[in-house]
Every structure is written in structure tokens, then in C-alpha cells.
Chains A and B, each alone.
Chain A
Amino acid sequence: MKFLNLRYDFDWGIPFREPYVGWLITGVELTFLIAAVTTVLSLLAGTVLAVLRTTRFKFLNIPAKIYVETVRNIPGLFWLLFFYFIFPQMLPFGLTDVLNRYTYYSVVAGILGLTVDNSAYVSDIVRTGLLSVPRGRIEAAVSTGLNRFQQIRYIILPDAFRAILPPLGTRMIHNFKNSSLCMAIAAPELTWATQQVESITFRGLEVTLLATAFYIGISLFLAILMIRLERFLKIDVTSMTQMRN
């Protein structure tokens, strides 16, 4: 089959042949693992950072602000290379070798790098959410006798998360796609696997098209899931503003 003038003969058997199919399956598993762990970690780290940034205490909010501004202005790929090549060398002796000898250190470095990168963006989104909680809600929380921690835990964060669900979902989908950056540090995730198949068979289009379909499929699935979640939680911005009046 000639596909216009691509000068390329497709051979759809390639992605389903051993050992290529094995590399691709490992790649998919690892992509899911990296995406899931970084999503959870960056959500936790991002929320803590956002809470720190909105406190009145300078010794808490200034470091958090410096962290976010620094990380946001450095490309994500840098953090992956940093955690893979530089970070282990900075540790006191003993730990350096333990990390370097660990077979799956590339995956660990990828997770650390993506978490650092993503948590900065997440914290920004969560912060806007915290700031959007109407004053009246907080005052009501205070008057019911909740302490500061309880206010954040039971009133402010739940309100904030409902409001920021759409941008947060988009950010996490972005983070899922960013997992492909891990190929640069020899972590055998899906994009690495497609490159590997191409470099051995010189037939990259088949696997690349399959991987593209995978990324689109999962991203769409996540997007739909987020929309369902938004509907389920019934976010109604007007109700919030009414409360403010």
C-alpha cells in the first residue's frame, strides 16, 4: 500500500511480533505507573504548597513562592535529567551508589522529575481555588468553632477542589502525556518503546501511530471522566456567587 507520497509500506504485523509487542506492553504498563504515581504525588505536594502560599506567615509562603516560580520557569525535561544524572551525585556517600545501582532508578528519577514539575502547576491551580472560596463560607466556618486546620480540611479545600476541577483535570492529562519525556533517561515507557522498535526495525510509523492512538484514547477517557466527576459534584458557580451576596 502506497500512502500518497509518504513512500512508506505499512506492515501492521510489526507491533504484534515478539519481542516488539513485549516492549510495547511494558511501555504501556510503565506509562500508567509513572502517570498514576506522579498524579497522586503532585496533587499532594501541590496542595501543601498552595496552602503554604496562602498563609500569612512569611517564612512559609516565601519559600513556597520561590519553589513555584523556579520550577515553573525551568523545562520539565531538565528535572528528569537532573534527577537521573545529578541528584544521586549530590547525596552523601553510600546513598549515591545505592541509587545508581538500582535497576529501575530511571523510573524513580522520572517520577521525581515529573512530580517536581507538575506540583508547581498544580499548586498554582489549587491556590486560585483557595482564593475563590467566598469570605462568607470561611466566616461561617470560624463561627461554628472550627480551628484553622479544620477550616482548611473540611470547608476551604473541598470548596476549592470543586471549583478547580476543570483546570486540574487538564493539568493531569498534560502530566500523563509528559510521561513520554522519560524516554530521555532510558526509562522504557511507551514512547521509548516505540523509538526502540523503530531503531531496530526501521519501521516506526506503525508503532508511533498505535502509540498516538493510545495517548489520544487515554486522554479522552480521562477528559470524559473529569466531566462526569464535575457533573456528579454539581459545581455551580452561580450558587457560590449567590452565597457571596
Chain B
Amino acid sequence: MKRSSVIVLLSALLLVSLVSLAAGEGLLDEVKKRGVVRIGIGNATPPMNYIDEKGVWTGFDVDLGDEIAKRLGVKVERVLVDNKTRIAFLANRSIDISLANISVTNSRQEQMDYAEPPYFWTGKIFYAKKGKFKSLKDLGGKKIGVDQGSNAFIAAPQELAKHSDKKPEMLSFQNSAEGFLALKQGKIDAYSQDAPIMAAVSGSLGAEYEAVAGMIYSPGLYGIGVPENDSDWRDRISFILQDMLEDGTYEKLYLKWFGPKGTFPMSVNSRPRLSDTYGDMLFVWPD
């Protein structure tokens, strides 16, 4: 190919990409036109999203995603994401929604937005063999495991620094199941992850483990991730979520997964709510 034709080709490419950027319509219109909403969901974090023993991709996130698609009036396309791609895919627009137990954090705000309110309220614990550690002070200088991509990598040492001068040794694993195996084998002293995930990952072995000092140390408010700077889309998803909270659909799903007769019964209340000032009121915006 001659040099001139290379230049022509390159400038054509550049022009096409500039035009597509300039004509960028809102995601809401785009999804309606496409007839499909692409939702990024993980598969290694029970009870939020996982593959069950029959091989079916399921979890609270999966059900929530299906319901959102139904209310948007479009088909759902589930895109598999992991702890690292769940935010990157939103940033490069390979997915329209990310529903993969993403805690709302400051640093993540720079890359993405969240629908309001966060849809699941939980928090991080230090999970260790029962009776091994009495308080967080005992965890100073110990080996702490986290999921690679979890904000526990930053939050855990910050929390432990309040209790002990000895810096913990941080190890990060590819998912919570591998991390729990390492905990069982004694490769790490404690694993830090959100409470319901630890409970689900440990399953029947959970009886031998506990949250150190029984405390949640860092809020994990799971948000529905949406791409940055598209407020029409963000509002639409927020209102769908709030409608579900008000009309009882959310409650039905919540009970199916976390209720007393649910798949993973949970004693803690993780529903989004305004508890102190307003009594136990749902976290939705007034009309």
C-alpha cells in the first residue's frame, strides 16, 4: 500500500470515530433501539451471583437484572464480568449496567455512576477460625486475604491500623472460593470480604468460622453501576429500582434469597432503608 493511501485510510478511521463520538445519543434511546440491555453480572460470588449445582447462572443480582430488563421492555443479555472487569466494561461501554456486588466507593465514582439508592446494604468483616482472634488488635501483622479487585485491599489495612501498629501482610486471590480454601489451609489468618458472601462461600463449614469480634468494619453498599455522565439512563434505572422497592417486587426477591425460608437466610437486614430519622422507611425519593 502506498503511503498516501495509508494516510487516507487512517484519517477516514479517525473521522468515523469522531463522528460516532459527536452523534453519541443517550444510552436509554440506544438500548430501546437495540431491544437488548447488556447487563454485566459475575458468577463467583454467592449469594449475589453464582452458578448453582445444576449449572444455572443465578443469584440475587441475576434476578434483579432480569426484572430491570422486563421493566425497560427489552431483552436481557448477560455479560460475564469479574471483580476487575465489572467496572472497566462500564467505562468502555461494553455493558449498559453492571450488577456485580459493587460497593459504592469514592475512587470508583471517578469511573462510573450508580443508580440510587444502593440496592443491598452490607459490610466487610474479617473472617477467621472461631476463637482464634479475640479482637481486631490481634490481627495486626497477620496475613489477610482479599479478592483481587475488592476495595478490602485498601479498607482492611486502614481499619487494622486503628487497632495495631503492626502492618498486616495482604494477599489477593482471584475469587472468594480460592481465598476461603487458602484460609482453611492456614495460608492466611483471616479473609476480608462482605459478610453475606463469606457466609455463602463457606456454606456448611461456616459453623467453624466467625467474623472477628463480630463486627462489620466498612460499609458495603452495593450499587447498580451505570456508565458515567448519562443522567437520563441513570435516572431511569434509579426509578425502576425505586418502583420495585415500593411495589413489593424487591421484597419478594429479597425474601426468595435472604428471607427465613430463602436460599441463604440472613439475620441482618440488608434492604435499602432510612432508619434513624424516618423510622424504618424505604430509601426512595418522594414524588
Contact = CB atoms under 8 A, between A and B. Distances in A.
The yes or no verdict on A and B being binding partners is yes
Interface of A: 2, 4-8, 85, 88-89, 96-97, 100-101, 103, 105-106, 184, 186, 192, 195-196, 198-202, 204
B134 interface: no
Contact of A195 (B21, B91, B93, B148): B148
Contact of B83 (A89, A192, A199): A199
A4 B14 contact: yes
B91 A7 contact: yes
A243 B181 CA distance: 59
A6 B92 contact: yes
A196 B172 contact: yes
A195 B174 CA distance: 10
A4 B17 contact: yes
Closest 9 CB pairs of A and B: A199-B149, A5-B17, A100-B186, A202-B111, A186-B171, A100-B187, A4-B17, A100-B185, A199-B84
B172 A88 contact: no
B107 interface: yes
Nearest to B186: A100
Q: Is the interface of A mostly helix, strand, loop or mixed?
A: helix
6 contacts: A7-B93, A8-B91, A88-B185, A100-B185, A186-B173, A192-B172
Contacts of B154: 200
Given A5-B20, A7-B93, A106-B171, A204 B88 contact: yes
Contacts of B150: 199
Contacts of B17: 4-5
B108 interface: yes
Contact of A7 (B92, B149, B181, B186): B92
B153 interface: yes
B171 A89 contact: no
A201 B173 contact: no
Interface string B102-117: 0000011011000000
Interface in B102-154: 107-108, 110-111, 143, 145, 148-150, 153-154
Contacts of B181: 85
Given A6-B92, A7-B93, A100-B185, A198 B84 contact: yes
Given A5-B17, A199-B84, A97 B186 contact: yes
A229 to B, nearest CB: 38
Given A4-B17, A196-B172, A202 B185 contact: no
Contacts of B149: 199
Interface string B69-97: 00000000000000110011001110000
B92 A202 contact: no
Given A8-B92, A106-B171, A200 B107 contact: yes
A68 B186 CA distance: 32
Contacts of A97: 186
Nearest to A89: B185
B274 interface: no
Contacts of A184: 174
Nearest to B83: A199
Contacts of B186: 97, 100-101
A184 B181 CA distance: 14
Nearest to B227: A7
B208 interface: no
Given A4-B17, A103-B143, A186-B173, A202 B88 contact: yes
Given A8-B92, A196-B153, 16 more contacts: A4-B14, A5-B17, A7-B91, A7-B92, A8-B91, A85-B185, A100-B187, A101-B186, A101-B187, A103-B143, A103-B169, A200-B107, A202-B87, A202-B107, A202-B108, A202-B110
B13 interface: yes
A1 to B, nearest CB: 13
Contacts of A195: 84, 148
A184 B87 CA distance: 20
Contact of A105 (B92, B153, B169, B187): B187
A171 B88 CA distance: 34
A114 B84 CA distance: 26
Contacts of B169: 103
Contacts of B87: 202
Contacts of A101: 186-187
Interface in B1-26: 13-14, 17, 20-21
Contacts of A199: 83-84, 148-150, 153, 172
Contacts of B174: 184
Contacts of A196: 148, 153, 172
